[in-house]
Amino acid sequence: MLTYRRGRLFMDQVALAEAAGRFGTPLYAYSKRAVLEAFGRLEGAFSRRKTLICYALKANPNRRIAALLAGCGAGAEVVSGGELRRALAAGFSPGKIVFSGVGKTEEELRLAVREGILAVILESEPEMGLLEDVARRLGRRAPVAVRLNPGVDAGTHAYVTTGTASTKFGVDKVSALRMYRKAAASRHLAATGIHCHIGSQVTSVEPYRRAAAVVAALVRDLEGRGITLDFADLGGGMGVAYADGLAMDLPELARALEETLSRWPNMRLVIEPGRLLTAEAGVLLTTVLYRKKTAKRDFLVVDAGMSDLIRPALYGAAHPVWPEREGGEKTNLVDIVGPVCEAADHLAKGARLPDCAAGDILAVLKTGAYGFSMSSQYNSRPRAAEVLVDGGKVLLIRRREVLADLVRGEL
């Protein structure tokens, strides 16, 4: 997807310098082909069992990206009313949308019930009580899945670990059983599935295997009580290879999950990948503003910062950085930092690059997930533009914000 041709960096058939010249930097560019290929690989790995792939919108909620995946037949995983609206607008059918999150408001629950989504993922007993009230008032029966916290450490960064007992996510097995019994007795709830999601950027199959085993044990308990479910949703979190090179082995993951559910051949498997589908399809283009040498370090100050891409500052994430112009030996060890007034603000530390000068463009790789979607206007910086690369064409899919956007809504 990214190649040098005659010394310049291309995404598919598009010269990235041209895109940067046309739309300015910082600029997010996504390869349509790469998104479709990532989806195809995942679909292929899970082809032996009826599987619904629900794209986790928060990785990259741009309508054009979401619409691409909706067009592939994917469902959506949403975590807010805003994402639910986006998913519907992008063309996902309501019957393929699951809605999770520990703090859904009454208004969000009402929207979910009215739209008739596949399931509300319940994260607590009080939430179930509120959903039942909402469904009763609407004269509806809301399909639900309880999010089980399996007590499994996914071996990933603490900020994206969600399956251990000390996190806010899901409920323990005893509470889950109680909730399923209540749901089964309710005229306004229908227990249709079970859910679990252990974390993000997980690169080992083992924690999934353990979490799936905990889910399977609960499914058996429920069967013993006469409660049968339509689907088991084992969440997202499949990791991609950043600079450390580790990635989830998808065929092995599929085998592990299928094995755990082999007693229930008709139960639909649901998975909720976000990062896996978009991370590798995106680059963040940024322009070098200054080269700054201090007694201790060699800095490249660029026009993108943690307000555009927070992953390095927040998680210590290491994204590869390539110069737009190939050439020269990578002899310089530089810290690539942005303009934001925080010591944490950086895009890369100790990157090896050829000589760079002001005006040169750098590409920060694998930033198609949790890049733009976690960006902010911190330091009153307008958010970047986004483009979709389709073969040799470049389509602007979100215009760069302007200064007026910064004060819009202020009174």
The correct pick among 2, 9, 34, 58 for binding ligand PLP (CB under 6 A) is 58
59 vs 183 by CB, closer to ligand PLP? 59
The correct pick among 56, 135, 189, 348 for binding ligand PLP (CB under 6 A) is 56
Strand partners, 14: 11
The correct pick among 81, 236, 312, 338 for binding ligand PLP (CB under 6 A) is 236
20 vs 56 by CB, closer to ligand PLP? 56
Chain length of the chain: 411
The correct pick among 170, 207, 273, 368 for binding ligand PLP (CB under 6 A) is 273
Helix (H) or strand (E) holding 392: none
- 272 scored as a contact of ligand PLP (CB under 6 A): yes
Q: How far apart are CA 249 and CA 254, in angstroms?
A: 9
The correct pick among 75, 170, 274, 323 for binding ligand PLP (CB under 6 A) is 274
Residue of 392, 359, 399 whose CA lies nearest to 16:
392
3 vs 105 by CB, closer to ligand PLP? 105
Q: 97 with 120: CB under 8 angstroms?
A: no
Q: What are the angstrom distances between the C-alpha of 218 and each of 6, 27, 175?
A: 58, 46, 11
Residue of 92, 5, 7, 8 whose CA lies nearest to 285:
8
275 vs 366 by CB, closer to ligand PLP? 275
Side chain identity at 73, as an amino acid letter? G
Query: Segment contacting ligand PLP (CB under 6 A): 246-254, 270-278, 348-356, 380-388?
Result: 270-278
DSSP notation for 312-368 = HHHH-----EEESB--S---EEEEEE-SSSSTT--SEEEEEE----TT-EEEEES-S
Query: Segment contacting ligand PLP (CB under 6 A): 34-42, 54-62, 81-89, 398-406?
Result: 54-62
- 79 scored as a contact of ligand PLP (CB under 6 A): yes
- 386 scored as a contact of ligand PLP (CB under 6 A): no
Instruction: Tell me which residues touch ligand PLP (CB under 6 A).
Output: 56, 58-59, 77, 79, 100, 197, 200, 235-238, 272-276
